[in-house]
Amino acid sequence: MEARVVAVLAVVALAVVTFMALREWQGRVRLERAAGATSGNDAEAAVVALRERAVTAELETALIRNDQSDFVRALELGVMIVDEDLRIVGANPAAHTLLGVAPGSLPGRTLIGAFITVHAESLARTALAVGSATEEILVAGVDGPRLVLRARRVPSGGLWLVVEDVSELRRLQQIRAEFIDNLSHELRTPLTTVSLLAETLTREADAAGDAIPPRMRDRIDKIEVETGHLVQMVTELLDLSRIESGATLGVVDLIDIGRVATDSTERLRLFAERQGIVLHVEVDQGLPRVRGDEDRLGPVIVNLLHNAVKFSADGGEVVVAAQATDSDVIVSVADHGAGIPRAAQARIFERFYKVDRARFRGGTGGTGLGLAISRHIVEQHGGRIWVESTEGVGSTFSFSLPIAPPPP
Ligand code: ADP
């Protein structure tokens, strides 16, 4: 019989024996207590009661520990306990399966020995230093499984390491990205032609003056506007799939993101004024530089501003601000517009997600892709993007970028 099964049976037998002994002992203690009470020996009875509680608590803890180890053994996620010297102390069966090693062979190995890559060890060192760390690694070359490792420091000194196989998930994500990419490429050429034809038609209708009935002119205008949206959607889809498929950033330079924010605001000032919205810039002077691709970060700010204007009421104002913390520069765009319901706030950075398709200015709208693209770009720069919003009061979208380290 397998050693693990024997061990489990031994633990269960021990628990049963301990439990029965405790029951018998509890009975004896009760009798003793009764005797003690009648003889008036209160102090002795109190000590006995205390001891009884201590033994019960110990037994309960042992049973809970048993339940927990059964649970960890049954998990499909790999779970390992690693000591401070980065040596594996314990591992459940799933951890052995995920790493393709014989059952029971992980305890005693080092992390490098188990994962055959230095990434697991450097992740563990980071977690020991800062509390927790997560990384995706490829085991045994490009054809090996893709594992996500989550390490968390435990108070006793070592680490818990949770291992998850995401190979299938990543394969499906790649198929989806390729599908969207191919479809967008196929759609782009005919759509661009239709859009140009619609533009020409609109110009010709304008030139024809009263010869074109107003209803027909109205329809031609609508065709032009909707075709423009389709072209924008296809362009954004292509952008998104390019970014998602791991396209690297263009020219990465030391940039003054405050200046990029100011320039982007100026680009949108006329558009905002036409909608009756005033733009304000509150950028701190002398901001530290960040490392980034200005051609990617500029459009992020333009997109946030565009949304802020789109979802503001006439006469509203939008404030673009940039300031530094100890580690980051934070750019924010605040409006006093429609706001976003709490439940939707976690979802608006997903592709195609729109809060309420009827809320757009003029009844026409965007693609629901802008924030998904913005999130990817910010994360590519090692930053983070988030929103704070109250429905009916307004929204503030912010993103942070790490301050570039000083040159050596
Ligand atoms: P798009 O604006 O093209 O629809 P986005 O990805 O930029 O796509 O935005 C997704 C959704 O998030 C929008 O459709 C809207 O519902 C919501 N949203 C974004 N910005 C704001 C804002 N400033 N105020 C209110 N809602 C917003």
DSSP assignment of 173-212, as one string? HHHHHHHHHHHHHHHHHHHHHHHHHHHHHHHHHHHHGGGS
**pLDDT score recorded for residue 2:** 46
Which of 268, 271, 348 maximizes ligand 1 atoms within 8 Å of its Cβ, making it the mutation to test the pocket?
348
Q: Is pLDDT larger for residue 300 or for residue 23?
A: 300
338 C-beta closer than 6 A to ligand 1: yes
Mean pLDDT calculated for residue range 47-61: 81
Close Cβ partners of 223 (under 8 Å, ≥ 6 residues apart)? 198, 201
Mean pLDDT calculated for residue range 288-316: 93
**pLDDT score recorded for residue 288:** 95
Instruction: For strands 317-324 and 278-283, give the pairing.
Output: parallel
Residue 386 pairs in a beta bridge with 398
For residue 174, pLDDT over 50 is answered with yes
3-state SS class at 72: helix
3-state SS class at 103: coil
312 C-beta closer than 6 A to ligand 1: no
147 C-beta closer than 6 A to ligand 1: no
Question: What's the 243 CA to ligand 1 centre distance in angstroms?
Answer: 20
Nearest-atom number in ligand 1 for the CA of 339 is 25
Neighbours of 345 (CB within 10 A): 17
Mean pLDDT calculated for residue range 357-373: 68
Nearest-atom number in ligand 1 for the CA of 371 is 6
**pLDDT score recorded for residue 364:** 46
**pLDDT score recorded for residue 25:** 56
365 C-beta closer than 6 A to ligand 1: yes
Question: What's the 222 CA to ligand 1 centre distance in angstroms?
Answer: 22
Measured N-to-C along each axis, helices 42-74 and 3-38 cross at an angle, to the nearest 10 degrees, of 160
**pLDDT score recorded for residue 361:** 47
For residue 363, pLDDT over 70 is answered with no
Mean pLDDT calculated for residue range 265-288: 94
Question: What's the 274 CA to ligand 1 centre distance in angstroms?
Answer: 19
**pLDDT score recorded for residue 26:** 59
Taking a C-beta distance cutoff of 8 angstroms, is the pair 21, 56 a contact?
no
Which range is least confidently modeled, 26-40, 97-111, 275-289?
A: 26-40
What dihedral do alpha carbons 208, 213, 218, 222 form, nearest 10°? -70
For residue 358, pLDDT over 90 is answered with no
Nearest-atom number in ligand 1 for the CA of 311 is 24
Residue 319 pairs in a beta bridge with 280, 334
Longest dimension (CA), the chain: 117
Per the listing, tokens 């401070």 go with 84
Neighbours of 211 (CB within 10 A): 8
Q: Is pLDDT larger for residue 60 or for residue 191?
A: 191
Mean pLDDT calculated for residue range 12-40: 54
Question: What's the 370 CA to ligand 1 centre distance in angstroms?
Answer: 8
DSSP assignment of 43-65, as one string? HHHHHHHHHHHHHHHHHHHHHHH
Q: In whole angstroms, give the CA distance from residue 338 to residue 349.
A: 17
237 C-beta closer than 6 A to ligand 1: no
371 C-beta closer than 6 A to ligand 1: yes
366 C-beta closer than 6 A to ligand 1: yes
For residue 257, pLDDT over 50 is answered with yes
Which range is least confidently modeled, 32-41, 65-74, 140-149, 240-249?
A: 32-41
Q: In whole angstroms, give the CA distance from residue 82 to residue 95.
A: 13
Nearest-atom number in ligand 1 for the CA of 366 is 3
Question: What's the 354 CA to ligand 1 centre distance in angstroms?
Answer: 6
**pLDDT score recorded for residue 124:** 93
Taking a C-beta distance cutoff of 8 angstroms, is the pair 333, 301 a contact?
yes
Rounded to the nearest integer, the mean pLDDT of the chain is 84
72 C-beta closer than 6 A to ligand 1: no
Q: What is the pLDDT of residues 105-155, one digit of tens each?
A: 999 999 988 888 888 999 999 999 999 999 888 886 667 789 999 999 998
Taking a C-beta distance cutoff of 8 angstroms, is the pair 266, 400 a contact?
no
Q: Is pLDDT larger for residue 370 or for residue 31?
A: 370
**pLDDT score recorded for residue 225:** 87
Q: What is the pLDDT of residues 312-350, one digit of tens each?
A: 988 899 999 999 999 999 999 999 998 999 999 989 999
